[in-house]
Amino acid sequence: MIAGIIGGTGQMGRFFAGVFQTAGWETVVSGRRTELTNRDVAEMADLVLVSVPIRATAEVIREIAPLLSEDQVFCDLTSLKVEPVRAMLASRAEVIGLHPMFGPGVASLRGQTIVATPARCSQETLDTLLSVFREQGAEITISTPEDHDRMMAVIQGLTHFVTLAKAEAIRRTGTDIAESLHFTSPIYRIEMGLVGRILAQDAGLYGDILQMNPAVPEVLARFEEAVLALREIVESGDADRFQEFFAANAAHYASYLVSATEETDDLINHVVSGR
Ligand SMILES: NC(=O)c1ccc[n+]([C@@H]2O[C@H](COP(=O)([O-])OP(=O)(O)OC[C@H]3O[C@@H](n4cnc5c(N)ncnc54)[C@H](OP(=O)(O)O)[C@@H]3O)[C@@H](O)[C@H]2O)c1
């Protein structure tokens, strides 16, 4: 079997080429400067996997979709699923959207989650593909493109927005980061670690995740309301209102509070012991 990876010179493309090679597949790759073109790869491969930046994905899929036959499988790794899956369905191929919920720095698939959104394929094709990932230790979550993108608006969109908004707010306070770390508590260090981690990476992926998911503005509107409501309660100085706000949220998260505390205790102990 041949896996053809379009964007196979990029970070995730290289990682998944390794995954298919480990599973005994032959791989062929294209980038913008490779000898093989996207079209060559689309014509050679049994399974075509698109792994290009989110903004370029629909165009690249549209370029190769007419070349694919019903005997081929069309997949992508895009962090959003509605638009790429819709574009892949314009081909005659079997279509399975994928979103790895990790970055290219992981050592292997062990313990990592991949969301799969099968859109047009036989059970056999789906099982064959997913067994490549499962046999290397990945967990698979099956979803639809729509549910995936709504979930990602919270899981990635809101999370990255809050982290970046916090970075900007701290910058606006004029706080010196190095100096602040001398006053650090373990939680501040972990949260600043997340700020530093995102800012050390390429802006493009985060911009695309925030700007290209149509479900993000709705989630950000709820966040803005929450910020204004909480700010008003804080500035009111009214302890009862703060208790009420806190209790409403503790009730909403009730089933998660014990495991959240245990997991973050582990993280804190790790941070403290590493200093
Ligand atoms: N990075 C992550 O943490 C992560 C996690 C989950 C999912 N993803 C998804 O994985 C996909 C790829 O992300 P990445 O981080 O691997 O990006 P990347 O490192 O920037 O790689 C992008 C690849 O796409 C190629 N490319 C760009 N425009 C192209 C075009 N028009 N035609 C053909 N190839 C083109 C680049 O080729 P050149 O060699 O010519 O530059 C490169 O090989 C994205 O859809 C992203 O949403 C990323």
Q: What is the pLDDT of residue 131?
A: 98
151/196 same-domain check: yes
Dihedral (CA of 138, 136, 23, 57) sign: positive
pLDDT in 10s for each residue of the chain, 275 residues: 999 999 999 999 999 999 999 999 999 999 999 999 999 999 999 999 999 999 999 999 999 999 999 999 999 999 999 999 999 999 999 999 999 999 999 999 999 999 999 999 999 999 999 999 999 999 999 999 999 999 999 999 999 999 999 999 999 999 999 999 999 888 989 999 999 999 999 999 999 999 999 999 999 999 999 999 999 999 999 999 999 999 999 999 999 999 999 999 998 998 888 76
Read off the tokens for 259.
Answer: 């495991």
* Distance, CA of 118 to CA of 142 (rounded, Å): 8
- The verdict on the CB of residue 84 being under 6 Å from ligand 1 is no
pTM, two decimals, is 0.92
Q: How far is the CA of 80 from the centre of ligand 1 (A)?
A: 13
82/170 same-domain check: no
Q: Are the C-beta atoms of 240 and 252 separated by less than 8 Å?
A: no
116/182 same-domain check: no
Q: What is the pLDDT of residue 271?
A: 83
In the beta sheet, which residues pair with residue 118? 96
- The verdict on the CB of residue 13 being under 6 Å from ligand 1 is yes
Long-range contacts of the stretch 57-65 (C-beta < 8 A, 24+): 57/83, 57/84, 57/87, 58/83, 58/84, 58/87, 60/6, 60/7, 61/87, 61/88, 62/87, 62/90, 63/38, 63/39, 64/6, 64/38, 64/39, 64/91, 65/90, 65/91, 65/93
User: Which three-class secondary structure state does DSSP give residue 139?
Assistant: strand
- The verdict on the CB of residue 5 being under 6 Å from ligand 1 is no
Q: Tell me the angle at which helices 159-173 and 203-211 cross, rounded to the nearest 10 degrees.
A: 120
Ligand 1 pocket test, candidate residues 27, 76, 205, 208, most atoms within 8 A of CB: 205
3-class SS shares of the chain: helix, strand, coil, % to 5: 60, 15, 25
149-152-158-161 Cα dihedral, nearest 10 degrees:
-90
> Can you give the CATH number for the domain in which 50 is found?
3.40.50.720
- The verdict on the CB of residue 38 being under 6 Å from ligand 1 is yes
9/139 same-domain check: yes
Going by their DSSP bridges, the two strands 47-50 and 73-76 should be labelled as parallel
Q: What is the pLDDT of residue 18?
A: 98
Q: What is the DSSP letter of 49?
A: E
Q: How many domains does the chain have?
A: 2
Q: What is the pLDDT of residue 275?
A: 65
Helix (H) or strand (E) holding 229: helix 216-236
Q: What is the pLDDT of residue 274?
A: 72
8/43 same-domain check: yes
155/139 same-domain check: no
Atom of ligand 1 nearest to the CA of 76: 45
226/134 same-domain check: no
- The verdict on the CB of residue 97 being under 6 Å from ligand 1 is no
Atom of ligand 1 nearest to the CA of 38: 33
Query: Residue of the nearest CA to atom 40 in ligand 1?
Result: 32
Out of 90, 112, 143, a domain closes at: 143
Domain of 48? 2-143
Residue with tokens 């629909």: 58
Read off the tokens for 73.
Answer: 């499988």
Q: Are the C-beta atoms of 153 and 218 separated by less than 8 Å?
A: yes
Q: How far is the CA of 117 from the centre of ligand 1 (A)?
A: 19
* Distance, CA of 76 to CA of 56 (rounded, Å): 12
DSSP one-letter string for 96-132: EEEEESS-TTSSSSTT-EEEEEEEE--HHHHHHHHHH
Query: Residue of the nearest CA to atom 3 in ligand 1?
Result: 103
